[in-house]
Structure formats: structure tokens, C-alpha cells
Structure 1
């Protein structure tokens, strides 16, 4: 039976509508994942301490909250990214910012000098909040980068955010920089009098951050930091066929070697573990050839694994047999920025981190997954 012109027209219309719906779903799905991830993360991990202050709870228990400068940096960074989509306001950002400003560290023999670095931890003790002295460079870097981004997202507050950014980046260079190694230290406590003065946290190698700070301040030391730290990271990467780098390394101006177990925090200090897992995320958007080469070596290793598990020795032996979003989310982000490098299997396999709601009892997994969604889904 021949179809009438009307029937053919109806079929064409239905086909066009179906195709349009399919395209919209394809386009909106990443947008939906981003929005949902941010909203779930904020609801679960951001605690309002007062009308004008909020902090990121890193303890995985709301009844026993702990704030870390690292978590506050991530919180500001994620909120700035959400602000680009209109999901977060400058007030949301300022509440997190006010908490940071209320917990700035002091340096000097008697802790007499106020800085713009953040004290690394706050928690409750016998019903009262206490704050541990000393800073952690990873938290300060993310706070500074969030401020840099906020100047573009909320123009009416730009002058205020830019002023704070400059104060903070100046203090990072004043108190968290070793001019001998041309690299950032792990915190303001790792002074020239400390045996940790030559210690580098590999996840502090943040070339896109350093570029942003240089363009904002025109301080040539940020170029020195970028070159010095990328060179040392590359030195570590080529020491093993895997390309993997350790959580921490001892460095000089022209060399680097992994630390021994228990040098800083755990038996895995010299392995690709809970700190180094962030390295792919930190290198993802950089166009610097050294960053690209180091990242490619690591991605090649991961692409040959049936499953990417939670941590490896530098020779490629698994530290655990389970998968973890803290390791997979940064890899997903890195591959997302470098889809033309032939690691589509990693792009597909590491998407599992978005297949279920964010965990409510694992701040680190949830936070790195949210960052990967906000940046890797673009």
C-alpha cells in the first residue's frame, strides 16, 4: 500500500523531532552531570558555620567536622566553576572565602607575622573549635586560583578578589618557595632551617595555575616556579617505564628522587598514591611540552590496565585491588582535555565515576569527581 503524502510528512516530522531530542540529550547530559554533581557535593560537604561563613567538611562525618585548607581551596574552586553556569552566587563564594580569611596563618619565631596563607586544619576539641598552625601549599594554590577565576565570573567583586589573589600569591612566594630548588615547598613550615626544605609534593606542580599567577602579577618568579617544578616532575617520570611519579620527592635545582616510606605521612609517600593521584588533573589543561610528555607517559601506562586501581608502586605494581574515584576522576579529566592522543578506552572506562550519586562518606572521592565533572565535561 502506498503511503500518502501526509503520512510521509508525518514520518519526516517525527524523525526530525526524534533526532532533535537525541541531540539535546547528548548535549544536555554533560550539563546535567555537572549540575547534579555540584548540587550533591555542596549539600553533602559544605557546612554553614555562621551567616557569613561556610567551610568544606573533610572528615566524612557531619557530627565531627574537620576543615582543611585543601578542602577550602577545592570548595572555592568548585564554587567558582559553578558560578560560570549560574549555579552559585558571589555570596556562596564569599561565605567560603570569609572562612579562609578568618583562619590565616602566622609565621615567625613567635608566630607574630600575619599572612594570607591558610592554617591547614580546624576541628572541634572538647566542644570548642581549634586551629592547627602552619600552611599547606596545595590548599593555598587552589584558593589563589579560585580567586583568579572569580575576578572574571563576578565582575562587580573583581577588584576585591584580585587584591586578595595578589596578597595570597605574594605570600606563597614569600613563605612557600625555595629559591635554591626553584620550586614551591609543601608549606610555610618547611623553612630553610627544616630538613623538609627540599621536599616537593608532586601534585603541587600546577602549570596552568602558575601561568595565571604570572599574567595577573607579572612576577617572573612564577615562570621560574613553573619551569623548575615541571623539570623536576619530568625527571621523576622518566625514572620508570610506567611514567608514574611519587606523592613526594626530594629535589635539588637539577635532580629529583622519590622519598622513602613514612618520610611525610604514610608508607606510600614514595608511591603513586593519595597525593600523586591528582597529578593528571593538574597537568590536564597545560600545553607545555614537558607537562604533555609526562602526562602521556602516565596515560599510556593506565591505558594498558584492565582496571585502574587505587595506587601503584612506581614500577607499576598495584597497591590495592579496588577502584577509586580519587584516582579515576583525575585520569578522566586528563583524557578529556587530550582526546586526540588515542586514549579513548580510558575516557570510556573512567566514566564509571559518574554512573552513581556522589558518595556521602568520602570527601576526597566526591570532591575530585566534582572537579572532573566541572572541567572534564566541558
Structure 2
């Protein structure tokens, strides 16, 4: 076994042992799994604080900076947190409304060719700042979090065309409303983050949007798996006509974020768990793209992060003990590696019965 795999396995074992000792008191990740975090940083974080997605033109995204900072806060790594924050503020904070531009491309002369934001990136970035500000008693971080939450509320929350009493989360400030229909990415809803930011910012519409989003996801999941993209019109929701409507790399996050938010019995979690029951086998690649209604597998991946998601989702439904989450492999690509750590974080914080044994 390679050294990093051994360290990761030891960390996971320690984390599980601590959780079993006190299921009501989640283990401190900074102590229990520091080797896993160090391994992730070595591969996916540059010294100046840029989270790199090698497979996407070596780009950096607001999403990646936000995910990385949420993890840094959980691991009590203020140095990494501040480097990621400083890099994002220098390179992505280019909009007058305070939201982040969604992507930075290292090989272009204009490294931010599109100033549009991504609401999920802003959401996780603000949530990280809120959590980091509270952890380290930093009023500057908390103030920036509140500003982003209020800007999201003003620019990325709109009324549902099918019911004006309901709210929808736009994927970005521009480009997702066409001919009376709103295009929505279901995986951009992270109810726990939305509620915590709403409380901090006094932004009631953000918490209402979280509630309405959970209800929308339940309606979608009553018909099958949740797609990557949907359109919402006066007639209700339908698979997107412009963007990918399979259940793929975007929608994989839906059951993770719902379970992390405590909604372990949500229909979208149950649908995903049933799909994993049918398709996940030891030693075989894990499904990453499925047809939403039939559940036919269209793509698979051998990367451990996707198996970690499957393990967490099935454990969230079943109640443990112990999710079938494999040891962390930092050399998988940025996206599955990061989802792997987020799954471990979700288990540690709200699903201690799913900490891997």
C-alpha cells in the first residue's frame, strides 16, 4: 500500500473510532484526519491558494475555492483558508455586486473572460467565510459572507413561474431565464448553507428559497432520479431543453447536500440510494451518469470519490453502522477527490453513524 493510502486509511480508522466512542459528539477533523487533508492540499492546492481542476483546462472556479475553504474551516487550517480567500478576492472578485466570477483560466491573456457568477460557488464561498469567521472570530470574514448572501438574494432568487408564492435559485445572475421559463440546476441547492447564511444575513428569502428548493427536489424525485438541469415554466418543471438533462456529474451532489442538511428521508436521497443499490458492485466502476427515469447507466468512473458518495447516500438511508466509504486517494481528479472529503465531512458533522468503519 502506498504511503498516502496507508495514512488515509489510518486517519479514517481513527475518525471512525472516535465517532463510535461518542456518537453525539462528532470527532474534530483537524485532529482525526489531518493526513487526509494534507494529502488533498498537496495535489489540488497551489502555494498561492488556487484550487486547480486539472481536467478542466487547469482552471479554477468559485466552486472549488468555496469547497476548499469549507474543508479548511473544518480542518481548522487558517493558513490554507486565508490563502484560498486571498486568491479568490484577487482573481475572481471582479463584479460590482460582490459576487465572484465563476471561472479563471490560466492559459488565456484575459484569464476571466466571463464575468458571470455561479450561485453554488458563491453559496459555498460565503458559507465557508461564515464558518471560518465564527471559528477564528474574524469579523471581516463574517462581514464578507453576509454581503455575498445578500447579493445572492438580490440577484439570483426569482419567483417560480408555476407558483409565484415559491422561489427559485438561479444558477447565475444572467443567462438562465428564457421565454418565461427558468433553467435551474438542482445541485446548486445546499439547504444547510442557505439556512445558516439566511440567519446570519437576515435574508428571509434565502431560507424560503431553501425550503422551496427541497420541495421542488421532492417533486422531481417522485418521477425518478434528479437530472442535472431542469426548466421551470408556468406548466411546472421539465427536463432542460438546452442543457444536459441526464443524472450526471452535477446531480450527484443532490443527495449529498440533502443528507448533509439532515434530510436523510428526502425522496431524492431515497431514489439515489435505490439507484446505487442496483448498480454499485465491489471492484467495479461506479455509475456517474444515468438516465433519470429508467436508471440505465450511461457512464461510470473508477474514482473513489464517487464510491464515497454512493456509500454515504446508502448509509444515510439505512442509518449505518458505517458507510462503505473507501480510503481517500488524493491522486484522483479534483472533483471526485473533493466530493470524497465533503462526504467524510458530512458524515462527521451530521451523520456520525455513517463515519466509515
TM-score, L = length of structure 1: 0.75
Task: Sort the Cα spacing of 1:75 and 1:297 in 2 relative to 1 into closer, same or farther, 3 A.
Answer: same
Give 2:85's match in structure 1, choosing from 87, 93, 97: 97
Q: Deviations over 1:140-197 (max 9, x none)?
A: 1110111121122112x1x2121111100111111112124511111112365x5596
Q: 1:266-297 CA distances to partner (integer Å, 9 max, x unpaired)?
A: xxx111101001111110133458x6233123
Q: Does 1:359 align with 2:331?
A: yes
Paired residues of 2:117 and 2:173 also in contact (CA < 8 A): yes
| Selected match of 1:373 from 325, 344, 357 | 344
**Counterpart of 1:161 in 2: which secondary structure?**
helix
The answer on whether the counterparts of 1:310 and 1:324 sit within 8 Å (CA) in structure 2 is no
Partner of 1:139: 121
In the alignment, the residues of structure 2 paired with residue 191 and residue 47 of structure 1 have an alpha-carbon distance, to the nearest angstrom, of 33
2:17 match: 27
Map of 2:6 onto structure 1 = none
| Distance across 2 between alignment mates of 1:253 and 1:359 | 46
Residue of structure 2 aligned with 1:259, choices 237, 240, 246: 240
What is the match of residue 20 of structure 1?
Answer: none
Once residues 17 and 74 of structure 2 are traced to their aligned partners in structure 1, the CA distance between those partners, rounded to angstroms, is 19
Aligned to 2:5: none
Q: With CA pairs under 8 Å and 6+ residues apart, which has the higher RCO, 1 or 2?
A: 2
- 1: distance between equivalents of 2:246 and 2:288? 11
Instruction: Tell me which residue corresponds to 1:116.
Output: 98
CA distance in 1: counterparts of 2:287 and 2:311, whole angstroms? 14
Question: How much does 1:306 deviate?
Answer: 4.3
- Paired residue secondary structure (1:275): coil
> How far is 1:60 from its partner?
4.5
CA-based RMSD: 2.9
Between the aligned partners of 2:59 and 2:157, the Cα distance in structure 1 is 27
SS in structure 1 at match of 2:295: coil
CA change 1:146–1:197 in 2 (3 A) is farther
Distance 2:129 2:14 in 1: 33
Separation (CA, whole Å) in 2 of partners of 1:33 and 1:374: 12
Find the counterpart in structure 2 of residue 310 from structure 1.
288
Q: After superposition, where does 1:277-356 map in structure 2 within 5 Å? A: 277-288=252-263, 292-307=266-281, 308-314=286-292, 315-340=294-319, 347-348=323-324, 351-352=325-326, 354=327
**Residue 66 of structure 1: CA displacement?**
1.7
How far apart are residue 212 of structure 1 and its match?
A: 0.8
Cα gap change, 1:284 to 1:26, in 2 (>3 Å): closer
The residue aligned with 2:10 is none
Q: Deviations over 1:59-115 (max 9, x none)?
A: 249xx74211111111111111111xxxx12x3212211222222243xxxxxxx12
Distance 2:308 2:58 in 1: 24
**Quick check: 1:285–1:337 contact (8 Å CA) kept in 2?**
no
Query: Aligned pairs, how many?
Result: 317
Report if the CA contact (8 A) 2:15-2:32 is conserved: no
Shift of 1:214: 2.2
Deviations 1:253-274 (A, max 9, x none): 77222224xx23xxxx111101
Contact 1:281-1:331 at 8 Å conserved across structures: no
Report if aligned partners of 1:186, 1:200 keep a CA contact under 8 Å in 2. yes
Give structure 2 stretches of 5+ with no counterpart.
1-12, 20-26, 162-166, 353-357
1:26: how far off?
A: 5.7
1:33-52 alignment to 2 at 5 Å? 34-49=33-48
Q: Is the 8 A contact 2:44 2:51 kept in 1?
A: yes
